[in-house]
């Protein structure tokens, strides 16, 4: 039996041996940049005439990897191969599937810095952000492996005299796994191994902005002993091949993390029953947020300011859990603005390969233009830029961490998910007003309250409508097993990744009940007849 689950420790880069190990990993990855990677369908490596290139956002001319675009025919073939593999994989004992995840975790742990270095180059994560991403991916493998053993054990039922009942969880079938680019290892790996350990097979279509790290993970799956066809690796356009795997009648479920717009589109397409389909497809979706930190008048303002800045600008604000709104009581508003600006000014915007960098480039040119347009919209709607607002897209897609004060409730940057280093600061008349502003959004993912008043904190527990609520701490940094993650409303299906309920979304419960003694009596009756 495995030991009790413990979260993977984060790396302390203040220790020179750890820093040197990361520098060595960065050098190793740089020597491998620009390679071409195939599709893998049913274990077969496939190349096509059309290619997809992944570039470093912080160095837009640096090719990280070149990928083959799948055709519609290959996308359909991937689902068919996954369906074939499901016939045998579903019968592999749960203990063996869990053991596979533990082997995967071990391999990732051995190559921890190398995996992080790929993310430093492919999505411009800083050292700590990349390290946290890798640690979370390891956590998902370790946690879900243990969870599968729990689900495979005896399940509690009410028993009645004369009958023996059993409940067992069985897999669904073929899953389309469509992960995002912002946690390109952790979320991608989490959705994939949750599918695999529960006995399903997968068509994995990584984000076109982060395919290299996904392929590196796929290679680890193969090395750990995953049979061909259980996970099929497919790169290409979501509108072209993504729709094929979502619509295919042999696809049983879709696991998606990304924007609300794409998530709703997937949900709509999955709801349609196509020819030959004999089930209602299940959709597991996490779709973003417009997260707020409330700072009450009785809060520790230094701690609150630190939490706001960390949550707003970690990974350039490109987290669905990021603090994009700071809602501050009018009595401490000006003081908090000073503290937020002071801390923001100390952040270093630079090359993510540099150990001292705090934040780096945003993911691509489209995001660069969109985020800049939101900054301009914030100013045109009466917001006051206190710091930041500048950008440089020549070498990489760099946008300064930007704080916009005096944002009005209901304005564009107070309502729409920006997904960049932009913090909207809103003045609240009192705590009631702050809660009303925080809840006035179509999302409901994360939120936080800073206050020394337990009555206010208890009200937040009851009234702040988010899936993950944090009190006197930042609203980012959920840990597997500690903070099961998922939100309400347009933030998704509240799937609670990294929690005890998550694997049930990838399985279905089957009950069998046997009348005690019936088999023996039939056997005896047969003997008497003979």
The catalytic site residues sit at 286, 320
DSSP string spanning 89-111? HTTS-HHHHHHHHHHHHHHHHHT
**What whole-number distance in Å separates Cα of residue 393 and Cα of residue 209?**
17
Dig out the tokens for 41 from the structure: 């369908």
Residue of 86, 340, 103 whose CA lies nearest to 221? 103
**What whole-number distance in Å separates Cα of residue 68 and Cα of residue 520?**
60
C-beta separation of 324 from 423 below 8 A: yes
CB-side neighbour CA atoms (13 Å) of 125: 28
- The SS3 call for residue 387 is strand
Q: Which residues contact 293 (CB under 8 A, 6 or more apart)?
A: 304, 307, 308, 311, 323, 325, 326, 327, 447, 448, 449, 450, 474, 475
Task: Please state whether beta strands 402-405 and 384-387 pair in parallel, antiparallel, or not at all (unpaired).
Answer: antiparallel
C-beta separation of 181 from 261 below 8 A: no
**What whole-number distance in Å separates Cα of residue 136 and Cα of residue 324?**
23
Helix (H) or strand (E) holding 256: strand 251-257
Task: State the maximum Cα–Cα separation within the chain, in Å, rounded to a whole number.
Answer: 95
């Amino acid at each position: 039996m495995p030991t009790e689950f413990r979260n993977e420790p984060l790396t302390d880069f203040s220790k020179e041996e750890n820093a040197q190990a990361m520098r060595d990993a960065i050098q190793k990855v740089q020597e491998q940049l620009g390679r071409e990677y195939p599709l893998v369908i049913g274990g077969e490596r496939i190349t096509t005439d059309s290619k997809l290139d992944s570039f470093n956002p912080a160095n837009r001319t640096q090719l990280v990897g070149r990928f083959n675009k799948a055709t519609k025919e290959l996308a359909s073939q991937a689902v068919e191969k996954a369906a074939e593999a499901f016939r045998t994989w579903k019968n592999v004992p749960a203990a063996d599937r869990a053991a596979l995840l533990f082997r995967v975790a071990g391999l990732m742990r051995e190559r921890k810095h190398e995996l992080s270095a790929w993310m430093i180059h492919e999505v411009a994560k800083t050292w700590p952000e990349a390290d946290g991403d890798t640690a979370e991916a390891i956590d998902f493998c370790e946690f879900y492996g243990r969870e599968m053993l729990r689900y495979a054990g005896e399940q509690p039922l009410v028993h009645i005299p004369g009958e023996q009942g059993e409940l067992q969880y069985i897999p669904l079938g073929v899953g389309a796994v469509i992960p995002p680019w912002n946690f390109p290892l952790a979320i991608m790996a989490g959705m994939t191994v949750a599918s695999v350990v529960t006995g399903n097979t997968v068509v994995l279509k990584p984000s076109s902005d982060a395919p290299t790290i996904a392929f590196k993970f796929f290679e680890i799956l193969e090395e750990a002993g995953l049979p061909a066809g259980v996970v099929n690796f497919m790169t290409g356009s979501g509108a072209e091949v993504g729709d094929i795997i979502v619509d295919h009648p042999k696809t049983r479920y879709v696991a998606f993390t990304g924007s609300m717009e794409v998530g709703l589109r997937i949900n709509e397409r999955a709801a349609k029953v196509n020819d030959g389909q004999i089930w209602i497809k299940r959709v597991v979706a996490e779709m973003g947020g417009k997260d707020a930190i409330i700072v009450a008048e009785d809060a520790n303002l230094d701690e609150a300011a630190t939490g706001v800045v960390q949550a707003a600008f970690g990974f350039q604000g490109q987290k669905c859990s990021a603090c994009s709104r700071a809602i501050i009581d009018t009595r401490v508003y000006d003081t908090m603005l000073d503290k937020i600006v002071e801390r923001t000014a100390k952040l270093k915007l630079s090359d993510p390969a540099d150990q001292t960098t705090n934040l780096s480039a945003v993911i691509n040119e489209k995001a660069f233009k969109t985020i800049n347009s939101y900054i301009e919209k914030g100013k045109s709607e009466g917001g006051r830029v206190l710091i930041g607002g500048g950008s440089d897209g020549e070498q990489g897609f760099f946008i300064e961490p930007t704080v916009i004060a005096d944002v009005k409730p209901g304005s564009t940057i107070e309502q729409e998910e920006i997904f960049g280093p932009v913090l909207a600061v809103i003045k609240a008349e009192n705590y009631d007003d702050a809660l009303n502003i925080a809840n006035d959004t179509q999302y409901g993912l994360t939120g936080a309250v800073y206050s020394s008043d337990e009555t206010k904190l208890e009200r937040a527990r009851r009234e702040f409508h988010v899936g993950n609520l944090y009190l006197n701490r930042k609203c980012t940094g959920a840990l597997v097993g500690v903070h099961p993650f998922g939100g309400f409303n347009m933030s998704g299906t509240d799937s609670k990744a990294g929690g005890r309920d998550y694997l049930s979304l990838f399985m279905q419960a089957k009950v069998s009940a046997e009348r005690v003694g019936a088999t023996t009596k039939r056997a005896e009756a047969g003997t008497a007849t003979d």
